[in-house]
Amino acid sequence: MEFKASKSPYAACKFILENSKLDYVMFQAAGAIKEAVVREWSLLADDDVKSLRNYLLQYVTQRPELQGYVREQVLQAVAVIFKRGSLQTTQGADHEQLMSDVTGLIGTGNPSMQSLGCSILMALMNEYSTTTHSSSIGLSWEFHLTAKRTFETRDLKRVFQLCVQVLQQLESMTVAPSRDVVVLINKFLAITEQVLSWRFTAYNLPGRFALVMENSQSCALMPGPAWRDILMDPAIVQFFFRIHDKVRSNPELAHHTLQCLCQLASIRGTVFNNDEMKVAYLKNYLQCYILLISREDIAECEVLGVATAISRLALFFPVAFFANMPEEIGKHLKVALTKLSCQFCRLAAQQQGVSASSLLMILALIL
């Protein structure tokens, strides 16, 4: 504890990171750097901050064999440094360079480097995602809120598009993916889910009211008009249904894709320009959803997600929109939902006793 609280421990921490063979000691050294930067920010020159940040990024890039928790701690320090300086005008070019470097890592085609790129994105997402669970950096929640808004405007959509591009490449694979590729897919899906679960800030409200709104949001996806070009494209919903179909045999991957589909079912707010756009979005989603639930082999791991998706649609879209769907869609939806409910009942009845699986089926029916 005394070491972590010591003044300017950067040289000692670098020595430990370079020479220690003990993962826990390296973890503590990375944590000491993070805490020292926050504590001594006003005393550090811009060049010193930049040098330290670049050192940490280079450190993890050159050591793919690092234990995961050590790498995550180093990257958390990087994320904190970027967030602490995010509102300074001098940091714009550095931030853009980081995003370009991440794009480059992901574009290498090397699973190890792509995984590192994912870890950097996840560290940034975790640091910026909320104003209440961010690292303590000695600043007010107003700063956290402003930094979050800046990240939303500048980077969040870019992160989403990058993940979609990579997942589209993986979707086109014609051979069974290796274990490393499956791990990589899981990371990209996790990031995509985090983007679609993002609690967007209310730009037209004062800071304290915006904070209340953020904390009160439960599950709705509420992006602004800037997201209209990508989320209102019918191809994006169709893509997430296809990628789920591709990975549905893997419960871990299917969990992420189903969460993405549930979030896309909960979309609302100013991303819609008018009711006609909402109706078109609902029609496209229902057409894809009907194809999904018309299958005879809905897996146990899909039950809750499939039920939640239709529940979200009913919650966030007016009944009148469903009533105005083409007759063919309405008919197919009723038939498919009836068959699905019967399938859930059969699956639940097959379970012995009140097991977790049986409770899952019952919960799905309630939804």
116-152 pLDDT, tens digit each: 999 999 999 998 886 544 555 566 778 888 888 888 9
Mean pLDDT of the chain: 84
Give the position of tokens 């370009």.
Answer: 100
pLDDT of residue 107 exceeding 60, the answer is yes
CA distance 248 to 176: 13
Number of H helices, E strands in the chain: 18, 0
CA distance 258 to 58: 36
Residue 115's alpha-carbon distances to 102, 149, 193, 194, in angstroms, are 10, 26, 17, 16
Residues with Cβ within 8 Å of residue 72, at least 6 apart in sequence:
119, 123
Does residue 209 contact residue 202 with C-beta atoms inside 8 Å? yes
Residues with Cβ within 8 Å of residue 144, at least 6 apart in sequence:
131, 134
Mean pLDDT in residue range 312-326 = 90
Sign of CA dihedral 103, 107, 108, 112: positive
CB atoms under 10 Å from CB of 75, counted, come to 23
Choice among 68-77, 171-180, 213-222, 270-279 with the minimum mean pLDDT: 213-222
Q: What is the reported pLDDT for 89? A: 54
Token digits of residue 150: 């800046």
Choice among 88-92, 198-202, 299-303 with the minimum mean pLDDT: 88-92
Please state whether 265 falls in left (phi above 0), alpha (psi between -120 and 50) or beta. Answer: alpha
Residues 19-41: pLDDT tens digits?
A: 999 999 999 999 999 989 888 88
Q: What are the sequence ranges of the domains in the chain? A: 1-156
Higher pLDDT, 351 or 192: 192
Q: How far apart are the first and last CA of the chain?
A: 50
Mean pLDDT in residue range 299-318 = 89
Mean pLDDT in residue range 332-352 = 76
DSSP assignment letter at 270? T
Residues 242-286: pLDDT tens digits?
A: 999 999 989 999 999 999 999 999 999 999 999 999 999 999 999
pTM: 0.86
Does residue 223 contact residue 269 with C-beta atoms inside 8 Å? yes
pLDDT of residue 228 exceeding 90, the answer is yes
CB atoms under 10 Å from CB of 164, counted, come to 20
Band (354; pLDDT cuts 50, 70, 90) = very low
What is the percent of the chain with per-residue pLDDT over 90, rounded to a whole number? 45
pLDDT of residue 225 exceeding 90, the answer is yes
Let me know the angle formed at the C-alpha of 219 by 218 and 224, rounded to the nearest 5 degrees: 105
